Structures are given as C-alpha cells and as structure tokens.
Amino acid sequence: MSGYFELATSAAGRFSFNLKAGNHQVILTSQSYTSKQDALNGIESVRTNASIDSRFERKIAKNDAPYFLLLAANGQTIGKSEMYSTNAAMENGVKSVMRNGTTTLVKGVD
C-alpha cells in the first residue's frame, strides 16, 4: 500500500494534516491552518516539494534527537518529522517522505 495524507479538524475548528506511509505511520505533520483550503494547499505544497532533497532541512533538537523540516521554495516550513533516535533513522524518514509525498490520496476530506 502506498502512503496517503490524512486531513484532520481540531476541536477549535482548525485544520492540519499528516502524511502517512503505507504502514499507517506518520512521517510528516503539518502546522495548524485556519481553513480547510489552506490545509489542502499545504498538501499540494508537500506534493510539489517532497521529491527535492534540498527542501529537507535536517536539524538536531535540544535533546540531541535528529529530525527534519520540509520547506517550500520560499523557505516556509510545510511539515515537520518526528524525533528520531539516529541520523540514519532520520534519513530513512526523509526517503519515506520523498517516496510517499507525491500521493494523491487524501483521507478525511468530506
């Protein structure tokens, strides 16, 4: 099974999405958006940028855990990964987003 996006609405009426791998594991989480259309635009931005390695900013958290951000061409953050235990695990996460980020399947859209 290939990956998919899952759109969600918070109790406060804000929208966000997760990119999930075929095994249903979350591999990228968006920011919170005020409208459903803005979240869908964010998903489109993932599709556009996920296959470009230079759009992934590899970072180290304060607790030394590696993670990454997916950036748009203008440098704006589109999504953030989980915290990983090793750099190798983080690079596998980047590869998973690159593989799954172009999917057109979006769940949770009415």
Domains contained in the chain, number: 1
Q: Regarding beta strands 4-9 and 15-20, do their DSSP bridges make them parallel or antiparallel, or are they unpaired?
A: antiparallel
Cα separation, 17 vs 103, in Å, equals 13
How many C-beta atoms surround the C-beta of residue 26 within 10 A?
12
pLDDT digits (tens, 9 = 90+) for 50-109: 999 999 999 999 999 999 999 999 999 999 999 999 999 999 999 999 999 999 999 997
pLDDT digits (tens, 9 = 90+) for 14-64: 999 999 999 999 999 999 999 999 999 999 999 999 999 999 999 999 999
CATH of the domain at 86: 2.30.29.80
- Of all residues in the chain, the percent with pLDDT exceeding 90 is 95
What pLDDT does 39 receive? 97
Q: Which residues contact 82 (CB under 8 A, 6 or more apart)?
A: 26, 27, 29, 67, 93
Query: Helices marked H in the chain — which ranges?
Result: 36-49, 87-100
Buried b (16+ CB within 10 A) or exposed e, 40-66: bebbebbeebbeeeebbeeeeeeeeeb
What pLDDT does 2 receive? 87
What pLDDT does 28 receive? 98
Q: Domain containing 43: what range?
A: 4-107
